[in-house]
Amino acid sequence: MPDTPAFLRGRYAATSAESTEEIAEAQALRGLCFATAGPDADSFDALCTHILVRDTCSGALVACCRLLLLEGGAGIGGSYSAQFYDLGALAGFPGRMAEIGRFCIHPDWRDGDILRVAWGALTRYVDEHRVEMLFGCSSFAGTRTEDYLDTFAMLKARHLAPPRWWPRVKAPDVFRFAARLRRRPDPKKAMSRMPPLLRTYLTMGGWVSDHAVIDRNMNTLHVFTGLEIGAIPPARQRLLRAVAQG
């Protein structure tokens, strides 16, 4: 299974899980963050590399995510995201892809360095495995679309997917924000409700689907998100690699 090098910065360290016990620890944190009845686990866990971010002082697990490596777009139908979105357009993507899933940060830990360390580890993974596109479902807490109207309006105005990769509707319960919203977004409100992972994607040139899936099982809304590595602005690439080098 693909691995990622250990990454240490400040008081946090990112590694890949090496045992079933560590994966179970990540599943427990996911259950806490996503408010599931017990640990959050599914069949994709066995196929993925699990990234763990720990506080080096206490050993506490403060963040985690999982990565599913695909050799190209032909395999995207077997991804977690493909359960919710018609990703037929991306089947033609020629390079390696990696799906980021179940990204979460412990609710008691609010240090911005946690996200920076996680992205440092992800940057190393992308470089080591020659990944050309990252993708996944970016989640909003809860299923009340009215809580995020300014955020969705901003996504419509600035961040919709390019036509050649357009994700189409597949899930039965969706909010078609690009078609329905006519409002001008309030930038302050939009950014205040933007999930941190999605915000990071967008600052690097990422894009989203034109609709949000209403996932009542996970009590989330989510948008499909893609990021072509080659499209990341050079200054941002240099910053990410500087972080990844520690």
Cα 169 from chain centroid (whole Å):
19
Phi/psi for 212 (5° steps) reads -110, 140
pTM of the shown model: 0.92
What is the C-alpha to C-alpha distance for residues 164 and 84, in angstroms, rounded to an integer?
Answer: 19
Fold of 7-244: Aminopeptidase (3.40.630)
The domain segmentation of the chain, as residue ranges, is 7-244
The closest alpha carbon to 70, from 102, 97, 100, belongs to: 97
Q: What is the pLDDT along the chain (246 residues), one digit of tens a residue?
A: 345 546 777 899 999 999 999 999 999 999 999 888 899 999 999 999 999 999 999 999 999 999 999 999 999 999 999 999 999 999 999 999 999 999 999 999 989 899 989 998 999 999 999 999 999 999 999 999 999 999 999 999 999 999 999 999 999 999 999 999 999 999 999 999 999 889 999 999 999 999 999 999 889 999 999 999 999 888 888 777 776 665
